[in-house]
Structure 1
Amino acid sequence: MADEEEPKTAFVDESAVPSAQASGEENGSLGNSWSEVSDMRQGLHQRHVQMISIAGTIGTGLFLGSGTSLARAGPVGALLGYTIIGAIVCNVVLAVGEMGALLPLSGGIVRYTETFVDPALSFAIGWNQVYSGCKSTFCDKSGKAATLIQWWITINNAVWIVVFGSVMTVSTLLFVRVYGEMEFFFATLKICLIIIVNVTALVVVCGGGPNGVATGFTYWRNPGPFVQYLGIEGALGRFLGFWTTFSNAAYAYAGSDSIVVAAAETRNPRQTIPHAAKRVFARVAIFYIITIFFVGLLVPSDNEQLLSASGTAASPFVIGANIARIPVLPSVINAIVITSAWSSGNAGMLNNSRYLFGMAKHGHAPKIFLRLNRFGVPYCAVLLITLFMSLAFMSLSKGAATVFTWLQSLVSIGALITWTTISVTYLRFYYGCKAQGIDRNELPWKSPFQPYAIWASLFFLVLIMLTSGYKVFLHDHWATESFISSYINIPIFLVLYLSYKFINRTNIIPLSEIPIRPLLEHAQRFPEPPEEPKQGWKKLNIFWN
């Protein structure tokens, strides 16, 4: 790991990139925003970034939350919900990958909104990312990982919460390559688990399981492809069940845009980021849609354990293995699901700390978060995120299942706000290129089907965001807590945006003044070394180049 000790050279000639706002570090000058790359270590290799992009955010949202979708929407409803949200996520990731290839700085969308839209939007989305990520990282990932331990041993969950949280913190404070190697290993485990459960599911539904029963599409016929949600009969009840899966799916896909968050710590980012973005299609198709399809064949939607308060019992993978009477496999699945929750927590720690670092660079967060340890890691940002570990202790209460439902809603709406902001930012970037007469073929990489794909995604994101809490508006279903958890993020985001805009008198950057040309000229003036062609057995590797 000697290569990590070498700091990266400066990324951009500061004088070549005009600031969108007044110059000077105090007001978030664009020129000063590039200097972190002289301190951050480039410890993430292409295999790290691409494996993290493929499986890094796969965790409790898929392995546990898919059971909730199946119970509320039925096998076809869940499959359609995950497919639609997956298509939206693909468009968003491709769009953010195009911007990241041109502007590879730590902070991801926080930096792109500052450069292409408005500093006020950067401030609002940055804090949205941080508080949404903190809720997800510890209260959900650590809490559920601790709950899953109860499958084998009964020890107070508080012990496991402290253990998992401490290991996450330590690993994030070390070289970024340590994080990369850990996530590479965890991602490999998750890929192996998904392959195992899908192959096992195929064998079981064809009658090759220990019970000798060929289920086929039995559960699609009885109890049926859809569920009459909330007891509402007919097409309306089935449609409402299907619509409910969007929130669960958004929770499962949350963090998919993180391929650009640590761009300044990634080697050859203009090559690595596009490769990672393009592989999102394979990730969505193989690791989500096919898996949800087989879950609907293995487990009936009316199985009572799907909505159990027990974190372990709620996993449809474990339920399916028990129904098929396959020994040992439930324990194997449970063990890898624990590592998945742990892995997702690690990813959240890194992403949130880099968001804070990026915000501090622009004056949107206290300067203390710019401090780096000897490994080039923003340790103050990591330690602040660690403080939120105390939220995980809420999982020890009797109402843990209810708390997790609220947190899932908060994380889901936070993800929808992030994807909406990415869509708006990309459209500004796209039309900025047109206004300045820049051919997108000049860019380091351009995403396909634009701007039509991102316009369609933006429409559905806004629609889903506004209807995510529809249940509380139905007769006799009002619940103040559910209403707040479904919508509180929207006014918070707007207050952050408008307050910063009013106090700092910021303006939306005109399309003609977005600094695309200087960034493009720099990318052309300092090209990355060409990729080495695959040789021998490496040609069979479909996960990274």
Structure 2
Amino acid sequence: MKSRHLFMIALGGVIGTGLFLGSGITISKAGPLGAILAYLIGGFLMYLVMLCLGELAVAMPVSGSFQAYATKYISPSTGFMIGALYWFSWSNTIGLEFTSAGLLMQRWFPDIPIWVWCLIFGVVTFSLNALSARSYAESEFWFSSIKVTAIILFIGIGGAAVFGLIDLQGNQSAPLLSNFTTDQGLFPNGILGVLFTLVLVNFSFQGTELVGIAAGESEDPAKTLPRSIRNVVWRTLFFFVLAMFILVAILPYQTAGVVESPFVAVLDRMGIPYAADIMNFVILTAILSVANSGLYAASRMMWSLSKNGMAPNRLKKLSKKGVPINALLVTICIAGSSLITSVVAAETVYLWLISISGMVTIVVWMSICASQFFFRRKFIAEGGDLNTLAFKTPLYPFVPIMGFILYAIILISLIFIPDQRIGLYCGVPLIILCYTYYHLVIKKKQRKSIVSDQPLNKVQ
């Protein structure tokens, strides 16, 4: 993969349904200024994690990324837990994205069943990933380009409408900053409303860690990765914060969260023709991009687990193009089975599986901060020269410790958010299950393997 691929994978991985659909909930709960503040805080937290991931990924560019780092610098059992939960989370999310894409296609082709679109998108996504890492990267580059272009156009047109350069529908006067000076105040639900939306905002930034996984298959990661990380953080904040400013300036926060997408509502207010169809296409692109990246990330994570003796050996098999084909097949099969679950038990089991995705992201990002902390400490203890590190996390150990603690606070806050509490109810038992399985099954197998590989002592 080239530098442009890494940059777009990281940037495009963030711009998804969390922004296009979930931002309405953030606006309704946090208010105009609160929504912008929430994304600024979320972006700052993401920056801390990316600084930690940058040092690790440049020093050790492997496809397993943070799973391999957690295994080496925290503990093998933690590495297994991180890898297993991350793979499981993405595998089920892929199925959800296919279902969502099928629902969006119903707008244009109402007579074609959703499962047909799920099958089509599944075959296309699998084929792109099975060809080579380059084909995945190239397709993701164009998926992300569409999303980024849509955001730039939205910011440009929306900014013109906010300041009166373009008339709103019905010759409404330019809103300027009127929504920031309402009687309800800038924080209608108080500062707690902002804090509770940080969980949702964190979900929106999910996907930036993909750049660490892709680093193992990139050209000259020591050169391309630092540049990609620095660029993606600031440009992500630029896109998110400006887009949020346009949304809250034109759309009263009382109506946000009720409509399907705040972006569609704003385009309708500006009188943009075919606004709903335009955003339907952009959101469809975002969904397929997430599925494409999710399949890539999950298959590489399963391959890393197998390589470390934590999953069946047959999953280590690589195609002629270096693609972990068996891991890819297992992942797409699990994603397919989750489609069945979404139909049979849409309000129970499937929703439980998907609800832990956000919690898994928080746990993964906490592990990245912890891994960087222990990596640097070990590097210095062994006499390593910091000048030899091509990318160094600044303000060590402040950055990894602060990132870990702040994400721990967000994780604890799930207890006080009824809609998100199920993530803890499902996620905590799964974490315990992973640790138990590692110590009772995997560790036992690894010990037997070590014993069997040792030569027998000769009888004297």
Measured in 1, the distance between the counterparts of 2:327 and 2:155 equals 39
Q: Deviations over 1:8-27 (max 9, x none)?
A: xxxxxxxxxxxxxxxxxxxx
Residue aligning to 1:68: 25
Matching of residue 261 in structure 1 with residue 213 in structure 2: yes
Paired residues of 1:261 and 1:354 also in contact (CA < 8 A): yes
Measured in 2, the distance between the counterparts of 1:327 and 1:422 equals 45
AA aligned to 1:150 is Q
Paired residues of 1:96 and 1:260 also in contact (CA < 8 A): yes
Bigger RCO (CA 8 Å, 6+ sep): 2
For this pair of structures, how many residues does the alignment match? 439
Q: CA deviation at 1:241?
A: 2.1
Please point out which of 129, 150, 158 is paired with 2:106. Answer: 150
Residue aligning to 1:509: none
Q: CA deviation at 1:427?
A: 0.7
Measured in 2, the distance between the counterparts of 1:398 and 1:361 equals 35
Matches within 5 A, 1:427-446: 427-446=373-392
Residue aligning to 1:465: 411
In structure 1, the gaps of 5 or more residues are 1-43, 229-236, 308-312, 473-478, 507-545
Matching of residue 297 in structure 1 with residue 249 in structure 2: yes
Q: CA deviation at 1:497?
A: 2.7
Q: CA deviation at 1:436?
A: 2.3
Change in Cα spacing, 1:53 to 1:131, as seen in structure 2 (3 Å) is same
Measured in 2, the distance between the counterparts of 1:87 and 1:246 equals 11
Q: CA deviation at 1:184?
A: 1.0
Paired residues of 2:352 and 2:426 also in contact (CA < 8 A): no
Please point out which of 111, 117, 120 is paired with 1:160. Answer: 117
Change in Cα spacing, 1:446 to 1:380, as seen in structure 2 (3 Å) is same
Residue aligning to 1:520: none
Change in Cα spacing, 1:433 to 1:375, as seen in structure 2 (3 Å) is closer
Please point out which of 482, 485, 488 is paired with 2:426. Answer: 488
Change in Cα spacing, 1:496 to 1:321, as seen in structure 2 (3 Å) is same
Residue aligning to 2:326: 380
Paired residues of 1:74 and 1:227 also in contact (CA < 8 A): yes
Paired residues of 1:79 and 1:292 also in contact (CA < 8 A): yes
Measured in 2, the distance between the counterparts of 1:456 and 1:293 equals 28
Measured in 1, the distance between the counterparts of 2:128 and 2:184 equals 46
Paired residues of 2:373 and 2:397 also in contact (CA < 8 A): yes
Q: CA deviation at 1:62?
A: 1.0
Paired residues of 2:13 and 2:206 also in contact (CA < 8 A): no
AA aligned to 1:490 is V
Matching of residue 362 in structure 1 with residue 308 in structure 2: yes
Q: CA deviation at 1:224?
A: 4.1
Q: CA deviation at 1:505?
A: 6.3
AA aligned to 1:217 is L
Q: CA deviation at 1:353?
A: 0.2
Measured in 2, the distance between the counterparts of 1:107 and 1:442 equals 23
State the secondary structure of the residue aligned to 1:446.
Answer: coil
Residue aligning to 1:133: 90
Matches within 5 A, 1:372-411: 372-387=318-333, 388-392=335-339, 409-411=355-357
Please point out which of 372, 387, 391 is paired with 1:426. Answer: 372
Q: CA deviation at 1:222?
A: 3.6
Matching of residue 59 in structure 1 with residue 59 in structure 2: no
State the secondary structure of the residue aligned to 2:271.
Answer: coil
AA aligned to 2:100 is K
TM-score normalised per structure 2: 0.88
Q: CA deviation at 1:330?
A: 3.3
Measured in 1, the distance between the counterparts of 2:383 and 2:321 equals 42
Matching of residue 347 in structure 1 with residue 293 in structure 2: yes
Change in Cα spacing, 1:324 to 1:398, as seen in structure 2 (3 Å) is farther
Flag the structure with higher helix content: 2
State the secondary structure of the residue aligned to 1:444.
Answer: coil
State the secondary structure of the residue aligned to 2:151.
Answer: helix
Measured in 1, the distance between the counterparts of 2:219 and 2:46 equals 25
Residue aligning to 1:500: 438
Q: CA RMSD in A?
A: 2.4
Measured in 2, the distance between the counterparts of 1:174 and 1:496 equals 32
Q: Aligned residues: percent identity?
A: 28
Please point out which of 196, 204, 216 is paired with 2:176. Answer: 216
Q: Deviations over 1:335-387 (max 9, x none)?
A: 12211110111000000000000110001111121112232211111111112
